[in-house]
Structure 1
Amino acid sequence: MTREQLVDAARKAAPLLPIAYRGIMTELANRLDITSVALCESLSQRKSLATENATLREDVTSWARECDRIIERHTKTRSNLHLLEAQRELRELMPVTNQVISEGVI
């Protein structure tokens, strides 16, 4: 039974129940419906935040590479300190984003 079917069945069954249980069944159906809407909204927000997070990570890596290119241009010495530092920092934040992406939310 889907959530919609369950909510619909509870609302249809409420008038058939004894008076003491009608309000409880209606309230239960309403809360399930509201909770489901809130859950869908939060999953949608999670998806958009994971996408934004992935984009920001790419931007951080790109800026770190650009900083290394500028340092290399001025010092004539190859540098990847900024990129390594950015990768280290991003690695500490990585597990949640990877989990969301691997779930196929994006």
Structure 2
Amino acid sequence: MDKKLQGILDILDKLNSSSNIVKKEDLEEQYENLEDFRMLTNDLDSLLKNFGSMDINNGDEVERILFELHRIITTFEWHFSEISDLNTTILKVYKNKINNV
């Protein structure tokens, strides 16, 4: 998934390079965030891999896992939201900007 997000950022960066709708720093920040996204994906992979050894009758352990899942899910949402915001910003302006309206 991180490669797909990078592909999206590449598209936005290309469109923005000719239109300067968003700050270059905002795009660069999202490229930097891809490493955090990769680490988060690894965290999820590890959690899923270890789920089979979890004692589902241990309430503390189940709660810890569910909180970790919540952290991972909400952080994924944040990453997608940040990229979506850039996309929306470019979407709202790009057509008029290239048509000089």
Q: TM-score, normalised by structure 2?
A: 0.41
Larger Rg: 1
